[in-house]
Amino acid sequence: MNKAGNKKGKRNWEPYIWLLPSILLISIFVIFPILIVFRLSFSEISKAGVIGGFVGFKNYSDAIHLPAFKTVMINTFWWVLSVVGLSTLLGFIIALVLNQEFHGRKIARSILIFPWATSLVIQASVWNYIIKYEYGSLNSVLLNLGIIKEAINWRSSYQIEFVWECAVGIFVTVPFVAFCVLSGLQSIDESLYESAIVDGAGFWDKLFSITLPLVRPALSVSTVLNIIYVFNSFPIVYTMTKGAPANKTDTMITYLYMLNFYDRKKGPANALSVIGFVILCICAGIYMMTVMRKEENL
């Protein structure tokens, strides 16, 4: 890079010009809303959206004392934990299988990508139809096959409905994990396994001492990204139950949407936004650390 060094004196502003459009775009449409939300969370806001003066942490204490706050936080916790955890596990297993050589592997990979490519609201609508009690496809298929004798009510209580929402969440998240892990698996050198076999390693030995350590970066990236996506996921819960009954199936995102646009409690809604933002910041911090560490390794 001698050339660059020579020109450094007169053209050191050049890279910033190249970055400018991107910085502008992100600043205006990402950073600015963050600032707005922060400001609003400390201000008094009327139902119509008129912004009043500074009120300190009043909005936050309002938000925490909302009747549904506890349920919603617990739901969000379970939602993120179950969807991310199970889809990581399933995605990992599927990736291990898809990494084998077999006939029709390309077709299987193409099929597996379907849920990733489909809009969440469409997926949620389809599952909504499938598990309907009166005419749902699942009941209809099982009845026809003679597996069940009469229709089962798949959504008899809100707890079960929430479990279904998590299941749909897992269904749509698995492909992402599977493909991330798969790309990690494919970069593993085959000779490592061969020498392990020579050393007499079994299936589990190979899994724990070769495969897992080597796909760990891919796995951690996909897990952290997933936590962010799943935490922010809105359409599944909104389409399937709209949080009914009485916010019992809401996650934080759907709850703050309802709070702001239906109940018009804009102050607490903004406070919730900031709380969510802080939670995500922690995830982001962990993520940055992972990425930076990898950067140093390179």
CA distance linking residue 62 with residue 213, whole number of Å:
46
Q: How far apart are CA 19 and CA 13, in angstroms?
A: 10
Buried b (16+ CB within 10 A) or exposed e, 20-34: eeeeeeeeeeeeeee
Cα 131 to chain centroid, rounded: 23
Size of the site for another protein (CB under 8 A): 106
261 lies in the site for another protein, by CB under 8 A: yes
Kindly state whether residue 19 participates in binding another protein, applying the rule CB under 8 A. Answer: yes
Part in contact with another protein (CB under 8 A); list of ranges 53-61, 75-83, 157-165, 290-298: 290-298
Among 60, 76, 136, 223, binds another protein (CB under 8 A): 136
| Nearest distance, CB of residue 136 and another protein, angstroms | 7
Among 47, 74, 77, 116, binds another protein (CB under 8 A): 116
- End-to-end CA separation in angstroms for the chain: 19
Q: Which residues contact 163 (CB under 8 A, 6 or more apart)?
A: none
Residues 180-239 that bind another protein (CB under 8 A): 180, 182-184, 186-187, 217-218, 221-222, 228-229, 232-235
Asked if residue 283 binds another protein (CB under 8 A), the reply is: yes
Torsion of CA 32, 234, 174, 219, to 10 degrees: 30
Which of 81, 122, 197, 212 touches another protein by CB under 8 A? 122
Nearer of residues 40 and 82 to another protein, judged by Cβ: 40
